[in-house]
Amino acid sequence: MTRQPPLAFDPIDRAGDLWEQNWPGQDADVYASMRAVTSIMRAHQILIAQLDGILRPYGITFSRYEALVLLAYSQHGSLPLSKVGERLQVHATSVTNVIDRLEAAGLVRREPNPRDGRGTLASITDEGREVARKATEEFNAARFGLAGIGADELRSLFTILRNLRVLAEDFEAD
């Protein structure tokens, strides 16, 4: 894929200026919010592209990587599918899709849940552990796509985004 040369201007800032022109008289927070949310969405696109690029040689996406790491770090290397969805905060259909693809790649296997006769466990395979380990080494080396941002800024960014998640009742805050 050929990368486009960088634009000579910030399109999000330009869009913000146009927003102000077309929606005059708004509270300044509205204009700042528009710029911030659009920047977050663009940053998401950039990071997913970078991280998926790192994962491409392993044949997985970031969502599959998250599931592998979750299983690798679980106490027994396996979790009920419902727990995978709960911990990754995704719908059951998404969990099924991710586990199907990981299973097809030989990175995860489904097993009956011995504690729940009707339930199914997703269990990481040795190959899955190896993929998770290697991919994590590469992510650490690339600082998860954020190598150009200092630790203090990253902590501030985390705090800001955590506050957004708390306001959305994503989890129970301390």
For residue 113, CA distances in Å to 64, 74, 116 come to: 21, 15, 5
For residue 117, the model assigns a pLDDT of 76
Comparison of pLDDT for 92 and 102, the residue scoring more: 102
Q: Is 77 exposed, middle or buried (0-12, 13-18, 19+ CB in 10 A)?
A: middle
Domains of the chain and CATH, by start: 26-143 (1.10.10.10)
pTM: 0.86
User: Rounded to the nearest 5°, which phi and psi values hold at 9?
Assistant: -150, 165
Q: What is the pLDDT of residues 29-71, one digit of tens each?
A: 999 999 999 999 999 999 999 999 999 999 999 999 999 999 9
Run of H or E including 113: strand 108-113
Contact 14, 7 (CB under 8 A): no
pLDDT exceeds 70 at position 1: no
Q: Are 134 and 100 in contact (CB under 8 A)?
A: no
In the prediction, which pLDDT does 9 show? 94
Q: Can you list the alpha helix ranges (DSSP code H) found in the chain?
A: 11-22, 28-55, 62-73, 81-88, 92-104, 126-141, 151-167
The mean pLDDT value of the chain amounts to 94
Query: What is the pLDDT, as a whole number, of residue 116?
Result: 80
